[in-house]
Amino acid sequence: MKKFAFFFAMAIIALTTAIPASAQLKFGLKAGVAVNDLKFNSVAENFNVENRAGFTGGAMLEFTAPVLGLGIDASVMYVHRTVGDKTLQEEFEHFNSSRDYIDIPLNLKWKISIPVISNVIKPYLATGPSFAFLVSKNDFKEFIEEKKCDVSWNFGAGVELFNHLQIGASYGIGLTKAMETIKVVDDMPTIEGKNRYWTITAAYLF
Protein backbone atom coordinates (compact mmCIF):
# COMPACT_ATOMS: atom_id res chain seq x y z
CA MET A 1 0.00 0.00 0.00
CA LYS A 2 2.89 2.38 0.70
CA LYS A 3 4.33 1.70 -2.76
CA PHE A 4 0.90 2.27 -4.29
CA ALA A 5 0.66 5.63 -2.51
CA PHE A 6 4.08 6.60 -3.86
CA PHE A 7 3.25 5.63 -7.46
CA PHE A 8 -0.15 7.34 -7.18
CA ALA A 9 1.61 10.53 -6.12
CA MET A 10 4.02 10.24 -9.04
CA ALA A 11 1.07 9.74 -11.39
CA ILE A 12 -0.59 12.90 -10.05
CA ILE A 13 2.61 14.88 -10.56
CA ALA A 14 2.96 13.53 -14.10
CA LEU A 15 -0.68 14.34 -14.79
CA THR A 16 -0.07 18.02 -14.05
CA THR A 17 2.16 18.22 -17.11
CA ALA A 18 -0.61 16.77 -19.28
CA ILE A 19 -3.39 19.13 -18.15
CA PRO A 20 -4.51 21.29 -21.09
CA ALA A 21 -3.71 24.98 -21.19
CA SER A 22 -7.42 25.77 -20.79
CA ALA A 23 -7.47 24.14 -17.37
CA GLN A 24 -8.16 26.34 -14.40
CA LEU A 25 -5.26 26.94 -12.02
CA LYS A 26 -6.12 28.40 -8.63
CA PHE A 27 -4.08 29.25 -5.58
CA GLY A 28 -5.64 29.22 -2.14
CA LEU A 29 -5.15 29.49 1.60
CA LYS A 30 -6.55 26.77 3.82
CA ALA A 31 -7.08 26.33 7.57
CA GLY A 32 -9.00 23.99 9.80
CA VAL A 33 -9.23 21.47 12.61
CA ALA A 34 -7.45 18.09 12.72
CA VAL A 35 -8.90 15.47 15.08
CA ASN A 36 -6.34 12.72 15.65
CA ASP A 37 -6.87 9.18 16.97
CA LEU A 38 -3.71 7.07 17.29
CA LYS A 39 -4.50 3.39 16.64
CA PHE A 40 -2.21 0.88 18.36
CA ASN A 41 -1.71 -2.73 17.39
CA SER A 42 -3.47 -5.53 19.30
CA VAL A 43 -0.62 -5.84 21.81
CA ALA A 44 -1.52 -2.44 23.22
CA GLU A 45 -5.04 -3.26 24.42
CA ASN A 46 -4.38 -1.53 27.75
CA PHE A 47 -3.86 1.87 26.15
CA ASN A 48 -6.81 4.20 26.49
CA VAL A 49 -6.75 6.35 23.37
CA GLU A 50 -9.02 9.34 22.96
CA ASN A 51 -9.71 11.65 20.05
CA ARG A 52 -7.79 14.90 20.40
CA ALA A 53 -8.25 18.07 18.36
CA GLY A 54 -5.35 19.92 16.77
CA PHE A 55 -5.15 22.46 13.99
CA THR A 56 -3.84 22.84 10.47
CA GLY A 57 -3.12 25.66 8.04
CA GLY A 58 -1.27 26.27 4.82
CA ALA A 59 -1.51 26.86 1.07
CA MET A 60 -2.91 24.86 -1.82
CA LEU A 61 -2.89 24.67 -5.61
CA GLU A 62 -5.76 23.30 -7.64
CA PHE A 63 -5.81 22.28 -11.31
CA THR A 64 -9.22 21.56 -12.81
CA ALA A 65 -9.79 20.34 -16.37
CA PRO A 66 -12.70 21.99 -18.19
CA VAL A 67 -16.04 20.22 -18.75
CA LEU A 68 -15.15 17.00 -16.89
CA GLY A 69 -14.50 18.65 -13.55
CA LEU A 70 -11.56 16.35 -12.83
CA GLY A 71 -8.48 17.89 -11.29
CA ILE A 72 -5.62 17.77 -8.84
CA ASP A 73 -5.45 19.31 -5.39
CA ALA A 74 -1.98 19.70 -3.85
CA SER A 75 -1.31 21.37 -0.50
CA VAL A 76 1.51 22.18 1.88
CA MET A 77 0.07 22.26 5.41
CA TYR A 78 1.35 22.74 8.93
CA VAL A 79 -0.42 20.23 11.20
CA HIS A 80 -0.41 20.13 14.99
CA ARG A 81 -1.54 16.75 16.34
CA THR A 82 -1.97 15.47 19.88
CA VAL A 83 -2.02 11.94 21.27
CA GLY A 84 -4.79 11.35 23.78
CA ASP A 85 -3.35 8.32 25.53
CA LYS A 86 -3.82 8.45 29.30
CA THR A 87 -1.71 5.36 30.02
CA LEU A 88 1.36 6.68 28.21
CA GLN A 89 1.07 10.06 29.88
CA GLU A 90 0.56 8.56 33.36
CA GLU A 91 3.39 6.03 33.14
CA PHE A 92 5.88 8.26 31.33
CA GLU A 93 5.66 11.73 32.79
CA HIS A 94 8.02 13.20 30.20
CA PHE A 95 6.01 11.86 27.26
CA ASN A 96 5.17 14.70 24.88
CA SER A 97 1.65 14.15 23.55
CA SER A 98 1.84 16.80 20.80
CA ARG A 99 3.49 16.43 17.42
CA ASP A 100 3.97 18.93 14.60
CA TYR A 101 4.14 17.98 10.93
CA ILE A 102 4.59 19.52 7.50
CA ASP A 103 1.92 17.62 5.59
CA ILE A 104 1.78 17.34 1.78
CA PRO A 105 -1.53 15.83 0.59
CA LEU A 106 -1.93 15.08 -3.13
CA ASN A 107 -5.53 14.44 -4.11
CA LEU A 108 -7.40 13.55 -7.25
CA LYS A 109 -10.53 15.73 -7.12
CA TRP A 110 -13.82 15.53 -8.98
CA LYS A 111 -16.10 18.56 -8.95
CA ILE A 112 -19.70 17.62 -9.70
CA SER A 113 -21.34 20.25 -11.84
CA ILE A 114 -25.09 20.55 -11.31
CA PRO A 115 -27.00 22.58 -13.91
CA VAL A 116 -28.40 25.96 -12.84
CA ILE A 117 -26.74 25.98 -9.39
CA SER A 118 -23.14 25.10 -10.31
CA ASN A 119 -22.01 28.74 -10.08
CA VAL A 120 -23.35 28.93 -6.53
CA ILE A 121 -22.64 25.53 -5.04
CA LYS A 122 -20.63 22.63 -6.42
CA PRO A 123 -19.99 19.40 -4.44
CA TYR A 124 -16.73 17.53 -4.85
CA LEU A 125 -15.04 14.24 -3.95
CA ALA A 126 -11.30 13.77 -3.37
CA THR A 127 -8.88 10.99 -2.56
CA GLY A 128 -5.13 10.50 -2.52
CA PRO A 129 -1.99 10.01 -0.43
CA SER A 130 -0.57 12.36 2.17
CA PHE A 131 3.09 12.62 3.22
CA ALA A 132 3.61 14.14 6.68
CA PHE A 133 7.12 15.01 7.88
CA LEU A 134 7.72 15.37 11.61
CA VAL A 135 9.20 18.76 12.51
CA SER A 136 8.64 18.92 16.27
CA LYS A 137 11.44 17.97 18.64
CA ASN A 138 11.27 14.43 19.96
CA ASP A 139 12.07 14.66 23.68
CA PHE A 140 11.19 11.08 24.60
CA LYS A 141 13.43 8.46 23.01
CA GLU A 142 14.02 5.99 25.85
CA PHE A 143 11.00 3.81 25.14
CA ILE A 144 9.10 5.42 22.27
CA GLU A 145 10.36 6.47 18.84
CA GLU A 146 8.33 8.82 16.67
CA LYS A 147 8.79 8.27 12.94
CA LYS A 148 10.06 11.14 10.81
CA CYS A 149 7.68 10.45 7.90
CA ASP A 150 4.06 9.34 8.12
CA VAL A 151 2.25 8.21 4.95
CA SER A 152 -1.55 8.18 4.96
CA TRP A 153 -4.43 7.81 2.52
CA ASN A 154 -7.21 10.39 2.53
CA PHE A 155 -10.87 10.18 1.53
CA GLY A 156 -12.70 13.49 1.39
CA ALA A 157 -15.81 15.36 0.29
CA GLY A 158 -16.98 18.94 0.38
CA VAL A 159 -18.63 21.82 -1.41
CA GLU A 160 -17.37 24.80 -3.36
CA LEU A 161 -19.35 28.03 -2.92
CA PHE A 162 -19.37 30.81 -5.53
CA ASN A 163 -16.30 29.27 -7.24
CA HIS A 164 -13.99 30.49 -4.48
CA LEU A 165 -14.79 29.13 -1.01
CA GLN A 166 -14.29 25.41 -0.35
CA ILE A 167 -15.47 23.69 2.81
CA GLY A 168 -14.51 20.05 3.14
CA ALA A 169 -13.92 17.12 5.45
CA SER A 170 -11.59 14.17 4.98
CA TYR A 171 -10.62 11.00 6.81
CA GLY A 172 -6.99 9.83 6.77
CA ILE A 173 -5.85 6.26 7.31
CA GLY A 174 -2.23 5.82 8.34
CA LEU A 175 -0.28 3.43 6.11
CA THR A 176 2.97 3.63 8.10
CA LYS A 177 3.86 3.59 11.79
CA ALA A 178 3.70 7.02 13.43
CA MET A 179 5.42 5.72 16.57
CA GLU A 180 6.64 2.47 18.12
CA THR A 181 8.30 1.29 21.30
CA ILE A 182 12.05 0.74 21.42
CA LYS A 183 13.03 -2.65 22.80
CA VAL A 184 15.31 -2.17 25.77
CA VAL A 185 15.02 -5.87 26.71
CA ASP A 186 14.48 -8.86 24.45
CA ASP A 187 11.09 -9.89 25.85
CA MET A 188 9.63 -6.38 25.67
CA PRO A 189 6.57 -6.34 23.34
CA THR A 190 6.64 -4.08 20.31
CA ILE A 191 3.81 -1.56 20.31
CA GLU A 192 3.08 0.27 17.06
CA GLY A 193 0.76 3.21 16.55
CA LYS A 194 -0.73 4.49 13.28
CA ASN A 195 -2.51 7.77 12.81
CA ARG A 196 -6.22 7.96 12.06
CA TYR A 197 -7.60 11.45 11.72
CA TRP A 198 -10.48 13.65 10.61
CA THR A 199 -9.67 17.00 9.04
CA ILE A 200 -12.23 19.76 8.54
CA THR A 201 -10.99 22.72 6.51
CA ALA A 202 -12.10 25.91 4.83
CA ALA A 203 -10.12 27.23 1.86
CA TYR A 204 -10.38 30.40 -0.18
CA LEU A 205 -9.21 30.11 -3.80
CA PHE A 206 -8.04 33.15 -5.72
Higher pLDDT, 152 or 96: 152
DSSP of 39-103: EE-GGGTT--EE-EEEEEEEEEEEEE-TTT-EEEEEEEEEEEEE-EEHHHHHH-TT---EEEEEE
**Domain with 146 in it:** 2-16+23-205
pLDDT at 81 over 50: yes
The predicted-structure confidence for 36-80, as pLDDT tens digits, reads as follows 877 766 544 445 455 678 899 999 999 888 778 888 899 999 999
pTM score above 0.75: yes
Domain count, the chain: 1
Letter string b/e over residues 43-71, b meaning 16 or more CB atoms within 10 A of that residue's CB: ebeebebeebebebebebebbbbeeeebb
Report how far residue 152's alpha carbon sits from residue 148's, in angstroms, rounded to the nearest whole number.
13
- The pLDDT tens digits for 8-38 are 666 665 655 555 555 688 999 999 999 887 7
CATH of the domain at 122: 2.40.160.20
Given this model, what pLDDT does residue 108 score?
93
